[in-house]
Amino acid sequence: MTRSLGWWWLFLLLLAPACAPAALAVRVPALDRAAATALLLAADEARTRAFATADPGPLRAAFADRAVAALAPQLAALRRRGVRLEERDSARSLVHWAAGGGGGEGVLEVEGEQRIAFADGGARPWSRIVRQWWAALSWSGARWLVVGMGDLPPAQWWS
């Protein structure tokens, strides 16, 4: 008899999640182009600060752990060499946005100057650059975070 009751408890325990009210599901807020632009601008500025300091710390506020993990080896390599990648006079603009799947994907175009700086205070001359940075945003832990990103080679640029 006791064993029979135990099976019933196990059955009910397995059934419970299926009967849970739908209202308990996470409600993802809408993400329009303007909001996405602000998020991506902040994320790329954080990424730029991370490379300028060879430190993943600035990434924490805008990037999910797996996105930080993807950048961490590059930052570690810079730190190991005593090198930083500095940017200045950057102008950023959103050149592509596609909402969907509880988030969206955007591409920022960044025009500015970049240089290699060294731990001893020296630096190479500034070089003018333009880059396009792709990033995917997703709702995670009650906030929007970058969950995937990459620098696009020119053949993949959004025109």
Partner 1 sequence: MRHAPFRRAAGVGLVLAAAFALAPRLAVASAWGSPYGDPAGFCPVHSWLPSTYLSLPPTSDPLVGNNPEQDTFFGYHRHPGYDDWYGYWYGDFRGRPGDQSGWQLIRRVDYPSHWHWNFADWGWAVHGHAKQYVAYYNWTFGGQCGMGHPGAPWPAPYMADIDGYPVMDIYVDAVPPADPKPRIAAVGPSSISFTWDPVVDRGDGAGPDYFAVGMGHYTSWLTIDGGPPIGRRDSAAPLVLSSAARPTDIVCVFVVASDKLGNATAPASHCGRPAGAPPAPPVPDAGAIRVNPAAPGLAGLASWFWLDPVPRPVTTYESAAGTDYWLVAEPVSAGWDFGDGVKLPAGDFGAPYPAPSTVTHTYGSAAEAGYVVGATINYRVSWWWRSGGEWLGPYPLGSQTGLAGRLVYPVRQAQPELRLSG
Other Cβ atoms less than 10 A from the Cβ of 73: the count is: 9
Instruction: Decide: is 95 part of the binding site for partner 1 (CB under 8 A).
Output: no
Give the one residue of 35, 49, 116, 140 binding partner 1; rule: CB under 8 A: 116
Task: Please give the Cα distance from 115 to 124 (Å, whole number).
Answer: 6
In three-state secondary structure terms, 56 is: coil
Instruction: Decide: is 140 part of the binding site for partner 1 (CB under 8 A).
Output: no
Least distance to partner 1, CB of residue 30, Å: 30
Q: Are 149 and 69 in contact (CB under 8 A)?
A: no
Instruction: Decide: is 65 part of the binding site for partner 1 (CB under 8 A).
Output: no
Other Cβ atoms less than 10 A from the Cβ of 133: the count is: 19
Instruction: Decide: is 115 part of the binding site for partner 1 (CB under 8 A).
Output: yes
Catalog residues that contact partner 1 under the rule CB under 8 A. 70, 73-74, 77-78, 80-81, 83, 85, 111, 114-116, 124-131, 151-154, 159
